[in-house]
Amino acid sequence: MTDISEKTRDEQKVKKDDDNSIHEKIRDEQKVKKDDDNSIPKEKPYRYAQDLEIIIDSHGNGLLTSKLYRNIQSKIKVLGPGKKNNIKGAGETILETTNKDTRHIVLGVGSNDLSIKTTTACVNEMKNLIENTKNSHTRSDIHVLPTFDPVKQPHFNK
């Protein structure tokens, strides 16, 4: 008779353990559901390959990326003398060398064009450059530095 009662106790214990594990599973599922209902889905921030790229004419001579910002991946492309030292050359340089995954692109070009072209023509070329850069670098913010005629131009010395 003791064998039957022990067997019955063991069966009840197993049933109780099964009930407890079922209740624990239900509690865990409810907790997960509650956490899911109350939580706001978080998107991971987009990681850019590069933070800053500056494309500038000779006014950028002497700029050092190491002195601009700390802990920011930056690159400076100073356009050398010749054909590429104008707005059109800047556009070619951007398409050829600039990382498509750059957070900020700074354009500092056009001063050399003002000495040989009208202001209207330079403004139109800059608009085209900005638009082309926006189209080719869709995730990038485009910043434009002001252009100005060099002081050695005759109309400044009147």
Same domain, 92 and 115: yes
Instruction: Retrieve residue 93's tokens.
Output: 């340089």
Same domain, 68 and 34: no
Same domain, 55 and 114: yes
Looking at the 3D structure of the chain, how many domains does it have?
2
Q: Which residue bears the tokens 């003002």?
A: 114
Same domain, 112 and 144: yes
Q: What's the pLDDT tens digit per position in 24-79?
A: 766 666 655 555 555 555 666 777 778 888 898 888 888 888 787 777 788 888 88
Same domain, 75 and 141: yes
Q: What's the pLDDT tens digit per position in 90-108?
A: 888 888 888 888 889 999 9
Structural domain range at position 36: 1-42
* Contact partners, residue 155, CB within 8 Å, separation at least 6: 149
Predicted pLDDT of residue 117? 84
Q: Report whether 52 contacts 102 (CB < 8 A).
A: yes
Cα of 19 vs its chain's centroid, Å: 53
Same domain, 62 and 128: yes
Q: What gap in Å lies between CA 52 and CA 137, rounded to an integer?
A: 13
Predicted pLDDT of residue 156? 47
Same domain, 11 and 55: no
Q: Report whether 126 contacts 114 (CB < 8 A).
A: no
